[in-house]
């Protein structure tokens, strides 16, 4: 067993169970999503110094002015993305530490995740390999451009706040697909975009706070 699975990892199942009960009490109803979150060892994706807080409902710093989202936000966004259905091909914009990609990997046939910060991309690659997330494909690129080479996606999830929905991502959303992202500047709101034959439909949901999306590679 890898050393990072020892110590806290050996006792984390009880801690993870408490996290799942808390998510239920916060209103997460999709048991398939809760099962996926329970299956992923969140402490693998945070710095060792913060491992004891890995299952708390807080966002934690991962370096480079980025954070790992609190478990509730991860669960909420994925629940909205899944909408009780099967996720086939999913695009994640902003891999960060790789935790959300790992959860998505439990639910979708294929997950394509894009990260613009090279050290985070490298770290996420190692962590995802460690938990054998073979259906998660990472790329080091500008996430706002998406992955046109493997589009369309029936789900797109963005892990940073934008002032508007990037046009490239809308074009890569399949008919019947759903996109979830934080939108806004001073005030941000979780926003759901649905695509059908008539076009795109936008629904504004609860207030959130994310780091802003940046373009280019770093």
Which residues does the annotation mark as catalytic? 69
Question: CA 153, CA 110: separation in Å to the nearest integer?
Answer: 10
Instruction: Name the burial class of residue 13, with classes exposed (0-12), middle (13-18) and buried (19+) by CB atoms within 10 angstroms of its CB.
Output: exposed
The runs of H, that is alpha helices, within the chain are 8-25, 31-39, 71-82, 99-107, 118-130, 167-171
**SS3 assignment, position 13:** helix
CA angle 199, 200, 206 (to 5 degrees): 160
Distance CA 201, CA 213 (A): 22
**Structure token digits, residue 151:** 């589009």
**Rounded Cα gap, residues 160 and 24, in angstroms:** 25
CA distances (Å), origin 52, targets 9, 60, 96: 10, 11, 20
Q: What is the rounded end-to-end Cα distance, in angstroms, of the chain?
A: 34
């Amino acid at each position: 067993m890898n050393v990072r699975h020892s110590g806290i990892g050996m006792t984390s199942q009880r801690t993870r169970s408490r996290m799942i009960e808390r998510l239920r009490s916060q209103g997460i109803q999709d048991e398939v999503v809760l099962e996926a979150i329970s299956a992923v060892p969140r402490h693998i994706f945070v710095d060792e110094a913060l491992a004891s807080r890995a299952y708390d409902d807080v966002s934690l710093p991962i370096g480079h002015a980025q954070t790992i989202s609190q478990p509730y936000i991860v669960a909420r966004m994925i629940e909205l993305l899944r909408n009780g259905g099967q996720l086939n091909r999913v695009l994640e914009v902003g891999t960060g530490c790789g935790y959300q990609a790992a959860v998505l990997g439990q639910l979708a046939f294929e997950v394509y995740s894009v990260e613009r910060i090279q050290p985070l991309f490298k770290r996420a690659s190692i962590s995802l390999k460690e938990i054998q997330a073979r259906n998660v494909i990472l790329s080091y690129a500008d996430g706002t451009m998406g992955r046109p080479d493997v589009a369309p996606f029936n789900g797109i999830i963005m892990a940073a706040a934008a002032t508007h929905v990037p046009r490239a991502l809308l074009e890569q959303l399949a008919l019947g697909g759903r996109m979830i992202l934080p939108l806004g500047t001073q005030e941000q709101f979780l926003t759901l975009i649905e695509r059908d034959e008539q076009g795109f439909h936008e629904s504004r949901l609860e207030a959130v706070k994310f780091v802003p999306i940046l373009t280019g590679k770093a």
